[in-house]
Amino acid sequence: MATDLVKRAFKYRFHPTDAQAAELSRTFGCVRKVYNLALAARTEAWARQERVNYNATSAMLTAWKRTEELAFLNEVSSVPLQQTLRHLQGAFTNFFAKRARYPRFKSRKKSRASAEYTTSGFRFRDGRLTLAKMTDALDIVWSRPLPKGAKPSTVTVSRDAAGRWFVSMLVEDPAVRPLPATDTAVGIDVGLDHLLTLSTGEKVSNPRHERKDRARLAKAQRELARKAEGDGANRAKARRRVARVHARIADRRRDHLHKLTTRLVRENQTLVIEDLTVRNMVRNHMLARAISDASWAEFRSMLEYKAAWYGRDVVVVDRFFPSSRLCSACGTLQQNMPLHVRTWTCDCGTTHDRDVNAAKNLKAAGLAVSACGAGVRPQRSTPGGQSAVKQETQRATAGTPRL
């Protein structure tokens, strides 16, 4: 049976000419202006208990273009302007479905500078991409080839805080197919001393990209702090130097996570992780910087979408499951285990590495959930003294190999 091809974005850097950079900068400004105008109109209507949809804001855009004040909107391609209205509609859809907060206005300094073009707004022939309102093709650095015969459905042009220009093309990738099924499963425990600890006993070191560039970042930030607010050109240069250091850190972190998640997905059929609330964990000011540098949330996101691509399963275990305090050999639950305890010995005589033991317990719990839907949320102790967690884990994992 034929399956739908996976749509995948391929992102490349490009170097615009002065004319192209000016045109795109105008487009970014117009996109931001239209988004904010439409959001203001919908907010006012919401206060009057009226509903305004995409079609209504599209009609507003036509009217805005006819006014003298907003006539400059006619100078750029209409496609990105229509797309930003669609993005606003999606933002309101997510808000009404309680998946996101109320949409916020775009800031000239803080919001991402980008514009999205659909097929009517660009031409892609013989590996050359030309956008609407432009005569010359973009000078793209083809760091990797597009899939053979690929035809982009959308093209997104963006500029980051470091002044780098990117173009992202959404295409169907026939190379992304479900991998042959295997019987391998792995439990994954994330941490700071080691980025990942696997149930196999393997430990992946934490590269700590932010710490390695901390001195360079501090120097750039000090230079920025010395620039006066009104010192436009010099302050802008100092700001870009800070942004370049941040970009270097983010690029290296993302590259490492991509390689790591791809390997895990290719080698295992079932991947079991813990449901961590990173947003709450970074409130600990002693660990916030290290947790942010580890980027656990981005790791989980990559793991989930790649597993969906290649026919793998990601099982998320409840965050309250006592994976570190539960003996993976006999199932006994320890009462207390401070963070500084890295190895411990159970009453059954088994000595555990804290992280490896947690990864083994995550794997067992994940397989139990997959097999019979058993819960892994810790419960109160039973009157007989034996932990309900121990009873449930032993019952749920019955018949599965003991790790």
User: Which residue of the set 116, 210, 293, 355 is catalytic?
Assistant: 355
- Between CA 48 and CA 51 the distance in angstroms is 9
- Between CA 136 and CA 18 the distance in angstroms is 12
CB distance 140 to 14 below 8 Å: yes
* Secondary structure (3-state) at 24: helix
User: Which residue of the set 23, 189, 210, 392 is catalytic?
Assistant: 189
User: Which residue of the set 23, 274, 293, 392 is catalytic?
Assistant: 274
Q: Known catalytic residue: 213?
A: no
Amino acid identity, residue 338?
A: P
CB distance 393 to 364 below 8 Å: yes
Please tell me the number of Cα atoms within 13 Å of 73 on its side-chain side: 24
- Between CA 135 and CA 260 the distance in angstroms is 41
Q: Characterize the bridge pairing of strands 270-274 and 185-190.
A: parallel
CB distance 265 to 312 below 8 Å: yes
Q: Which residue in 241, 14, 254, 265 sits closest to 129, CA to CA?
A: 14
| Residues facing 129 on adjacent strands | 124
Residue 151 to residues 2, 125, 155, Cα–Cα distance (Å): 20, 9, 10
- Between CA 239 and CA 163 the distance in angstroms is 10
User: Which residues are within 8 A (CB) of 156 and not within 5 positions of it... i.e. 6 or more apart?
Assistant: 9, 114, 115, 116, 117, 167, 168, 170
| Sheet of strand 313-317: strand arrangement | 203-205, 194-198, 185-190, 270-274, 313-317
Straight-line distance from the first to the last Cα atom of the chain, in angstroms, rounded to the nearest whole number: 38
User: Which residues are within 8 A (CB) of 385 and not within 5 positions of it... i.e. 6 or more apart?
Assistant: none
Amino acid identity, residue 184?
A: T
- Between CA 66 and CA 272 the distance in angstroms is 56
Q: Known catalytic residue: 298?
A: no
Q: Known catalytic residue: 139?
A: no
Q: How many helices (H) and strands (E) does the chain have?
A: 11, 14
Q: Say how many residues make up the chain.
A: 403
Which residues are designated catalytic?
189, 274, 355
